[in-house]
Structure 1
């Protein structure tokens, strides 16, 4: 049975979601300096007071947006992989991970990381989030690949894939690197698949 509070709660969740998405867009398109609470609130179509009700400080807003980015990015990267086990599945997983690092979400996160490098207070907030994201991304990749992560070599192969994906994402920030990236994804998928199969045997 519906309660009188549900519509208000739904509106509150919708407002929060709009603010987080507007923050990501502002960071990706205009950079750190432009991603203020006032600008984000205007872009989200809410008052500054409503924005500050959800996120009292800019750091609160940015941290929440980064958490949202991390969770969304890896979920999207592996949730669509429905290919049967084999080379095609390995390549689909690698391509999905790389794609997640060339998205708007990654470009927004990069703005935060760059600023956090010079801001000790923000860095203190971001480093634990980044560590949690790294662990979560690794777990999702292991699950998508269907491998045994307790094997040290397999663990490092999965981590190398994530590191490669991040590096290709950085290469795409200033110029469209899609043609070269596609070739690298294919070659790494072949190499990774062969190495993982060797660990299974």
Structure 2
């Protein structure tokens, strides 16, 4: 039975990290606009997130069994990182760099080329390992006994929902996100979510 708290924690944490301007999201949006290999691209991104987060949960979970003191370190370390990330999102909301504009029409990509680019945007970004393996995985490993599967399910569902919405809803989202004001609102929401979660982690870590 999936417990609510770890599931919702995983969902909120994954959603807060994944919904941000970046090369991967921009590529998924472009593929959605062009209606080109959207399903495989969305599936690749979602599965990559689940695998990376699962590796973090499994690896750090084993370490936590041998070193229980790591729970406090991971919790407070995660709170510091969330604070830094949330502050950065709020800064972007106050001083946006500009909207995300759709590409001009271009030659169609083959499925292999589209997946190769998706893999590049996903796996060649060093921040993906910090976000999914270390931070999300670390917080997932620190969940109460039996809570890790629910946490991972929530995190994976947030990833799948986001990429599916971005890819298949691209034609509806593109006009909105071509405006800097839309990204300001989005970054503001992300920043506030991060800071709220950081505060919760600090309270949990000091309890």
TM bracket, shorter-chain basis = 0.3 to 0.5
- The two structures have a TM-score, normalised by structure 2, of 0.32
Normalised to the residue count of structure 1, the TM-score between the two structures is 0.33
